[in-house]
Amino acid sequence: MKVLKYFVYILSFVLATIPGFVKAQDSSAAKPVGNKWHYRVEPYLMLPSMSGQTGVAGLPLLNVDASASDIFSKLQMGFMLNVDAGNGTWALNSDFLYMNLEQDINPTTLIKAGTLSAKQMGWELAGFRRVAPWLEVGIGGLLNAMEIGIDISQNQVGGGTLSKSGKQTKTWLDPMLITRLSTTGSGKLYGQLRGEIGGFGIGSDFAWQVQAIAGYRFSKLFDMSLGYRIISLDYQDGDGAKAFVYDVNTFGPMVRFGFSF
């Protein structure tokens, strides 16, 4: 599967880029446990591509296959922010993502032309417990809010087209199980691999994410990192004219700017 290839690339990237990652278990002096809380604010930019299927209001399912250049050429607005607070043992994390975009629909046998508009908000709040210098485990909740609008010209038997449109808004919450593997110590280079699964039919039928980053600390205050992220949501609700389907993988590189205090 393509997503498994992405996972292998991500894991190889972190392990090959960050010296000492595979030896992190042997580092006994890193990440001291204490009561002092440290905070980190990290605005970031993701260059997303999207693939999958979506459909609303009983309209035909549409294949989504958009590259980063396609998305950014039609991007109306985007905002992404990660905030982390921890004391060495416990940590709280908030990750917020918002995108407002419009995409042309590729013609098919059924559809002559059309546009797909999407307003997507994802906010995840999670808590972590450190169980090893290099490993944290946690639970979280991922709040998804989607507004999908579709306008199409549908080919008719015998010739001609019929214009159809529909728009639906859905909000749902996915419980998530999360692990974070991080390099230890306070050197200039650092890395982190984060994986999570969830949904379990409570919100999405299945949801999962993988993030990998490798960064450089310019000072105690500021650092910068590059990474890659995959967000996969498989959500369906309703039927007939009220059917809403969002089975889409969003994936792409990231640039992150960290401020620690």
Q: Which domain holds residue 223?
A: 2-25+46-107+114-146+168-255
Q: How far apart are CA 55 and CA 50, in angstroms?
A: 15
Measured distance CA(237)–CA(195) in Å, rounded: 26
Which of 52-56, 62-66, 188-192 has the weakest average pLDDT?
62-66
Q: Answer whether residue 110 shows pLDDT above 70.
A: yes
203 occurs within a structural domain: yes
Give domain status of residue 160, yes or no: no
- Specify the CATH number for the domain of residue 141: 2.40.128
Number of compact structural domains in the chain: 1
Distance of CA 107 to CAs 50, 104, 119, Å? 17, 9, 22
In this predicted model, which residue has the larger pLDDT, 68 or 129? 129
Surface-to-core class of residue 90, CB atoms within 10 Å of its CB (0-12 exposed, 13-18 middle, 19+ buried) = middle
Average pLDDT over residues 151-180: 91
What does the alpha-carbon distance between residue 95 and residue 83 come to, in Å, rounded to a whole number?
6
DSSP lists the bridge partners of residue 40 as: 84, 260
| Residue 141 maps to a domain | yes
Q: What is the pLDDT of residue 35?
A: 77
| 260 located within any domain | no
**36 vs 50: CA distance, rounded Å:** 41
**pTM of the entire predicted model:** 0.83
pLDDT band at 186 (very low <50, low <70, confident <90, very high): confident
Domain membership of residue 17 (yes or no) is yes
pLDDT digits (tens, 9 = 90+) for 210-229: 999 999 999 999 999 999 99
What pLDDT band is residue 29 in, cutting at 50, 70 and 90? very low
- Residue 135 domain-assigned (yes or no): yes
Query: Residue 1: is its pLDDT beyond 70?
Result: no
